[in-house]
Structure 1
């Protein structure tokens, strides 16, 4: 049966992060769909089940106050369709939301020139307007105390369907900030050449082509990567055989910017080629 996720919640609670996580899980994602277009969109994806096996739609207060009040009855009508339908609502404390908007200097969707609400007033009004939708949610996620990578990991765990393949969480990190406490396997990349010591490469990360080019010239890095792939090839099937739904593989280096990031990205591509779902989380990059 087709899967449809309606992602909604309070502005600043992390909807963009969750949508990107669902996209990594092979959901077809649409953000900021006007509420009034939702019935037509559902009809469209039902007509193309092979093309839209998993879909996530982001709807929020940007759809205007009037249209958002029409969402609860639409949710009820969608539940009558032949869909595996879930409503995810992202919530956060008022003070946390206030701090997030203040730190990023973003304008709240209700703080427009026409409405002229203060940030505090806009947050309180949105909480009030979104309450009926929150009451209809299947899954409520409070992001008040979650970092970006922890939010992504939580979504991954909650939404992964039990099947015959294990899902992998791949995380890069800096040893100077400590080893992630929930890792199943930890690999140390500090023995590898460090591009940080080349000034012209220092400001790049392991996701940049300049760093990729640097590592592709190093035979030691290629050998390390081959061993990582060999480890996954040998041991991931053992976890699948034991009904494990997911495992976390963490790779660390000194600063969590170059070596660990590069290896995680390369390992992600390797797993994808072999049909193994993996979620990438770069702790130091995501938290910066």
Structure 2
């Protein structure tokens, strides 16, 4: 029997994760008081094999019962079973935005002060985060991307490490993404903007990508960029980094940066790395197409 503890920051996507895990055949139980974990494991043992994969959502909503979690997790191993911990996280800014959009109150700040609640929650979850088997940062993830990532890890079993790579295209005239770890300037590459029939399209369109990548400079740069990132990734993993944000910029963020980001993303995916592709500025300043 396999036990998965689903936990993490409030607003980071645990509800969506539960739905996905149920689709993958997990029997999921939300907000189980930790003190009852041993009782639940015993019930699962009595199922005579009917339950093979169990997902338990344990988080700060347990209130005063949360402090019983670590002793309760030991009870799983005492029964002879192993467990994994999935920790979902997101940046403070995104968590605050999600709470405001859903008009929910933070469980540790029922009277307001979402930021204070998030700060306290991070402190209380720190030990659990350090124990996590898998960690997913949903800051830049859509629901579909989260589902794909969970499926990759728990169904296809092709997880390679805890490092999630976010590849973002952007336009320098709109500013460099503040959360960038690595920034690459591709404004030296051939620019489709000066080709009338390509100007109103973006790097998402094959003809724009073909134009950019039809240059020996573009090919050489994209190969060297991949080689550099491939070299750096093991070192980031060794240092315990769980998120790497690679930002690739051109002037407007619609043609060259989108193309190179697309190429890098697919090369990393082919290598088996966990990667997500985002285009921050590809629709800004877009003219109506004929």
TM-score by length of 2: 0.52
How far apart are residue 82 of structure 1 and its match?
A: 2.5
Query: Which 10-residue stretch deviates more, 81-90 or 149-158?
Result: 81-90
The answer to whether the 8 Å contact 1:72/1:132 transfers is no
Match of 2:102 in 1: 104
CA gap of 1:135–1:62, structure 2 versus 1, over 3 A, is same
CA gap of 1:137–1:180, structure 2 versus 1, over 3 A, is farther
Match of 1:21 in 2: 20
How far apart are residue 17 of structure 1 and its match?
A: 0.6
How far apart are residue 53 of structure 1 and its match?
A: 0.8
Match of 2:45 in 1: 46
For structure 1, which runs of at least 5 residues remain unmatched after alignment? 164-176, 182-288
The correspondence for 1:133, drawn from 111, 128, 136, is: 128
**Alignment coverage as a number of residue pairs:** 165
Match of 1:119 in 2: 114
Residues 235-260 of structure 1: CA deviation (Å, up to 9, x unaligned)? xxxxxxxxxxxxxxxxxxxxxxxxxx
The answer to whether the 8 Å contact 1:9/1:60 transfers is yes
TM-score by length of 1: 0.53
CA gap of 1:180–1:122, structure 2 versus 1, over 3 A, is farther
Match of 1:32 in 2: 31
CA gap of 1:40–1:178, structure 2 versus 1, over 3 A, is farther
Residues 71-113 of structure 1: CA deviation (Å, up to 9, x unaligned)? 123223323432242111111111111111112111111222x
State the alpha-carbon separation in 1 of the partners of residues 204 and 16 from structure 2: 23
CA gap of 1:149–1:93, structure 2 versus 1, over 3 A, is same
Match of 1:152 in 2: 147
How far apart are residue 29 of structure 1 and its match?
A: 1.0
Moved over 6 A (4+): 177-181
CA gap of 1:126–1:101, structure 2 versus 1, over 3 A, is same
How far apart are residue 63 of structure 1 and its match?
A: 0.6
SS of the equivalent of 1:70 reads: helix
The answer to whether the 8 Å contact 2:86/2:134 transfers is yes
For structure 2, which runs of at least 5 residues remain unmatched after alignment? 159-201, 207-290
Residues 88-144 of structure 1: CA deviation (Å, up to 9, x unaligned)? 1111111111111112111111222xxx45111111111111111112211111111
CA RMSD of aligned residues (A): 2.7
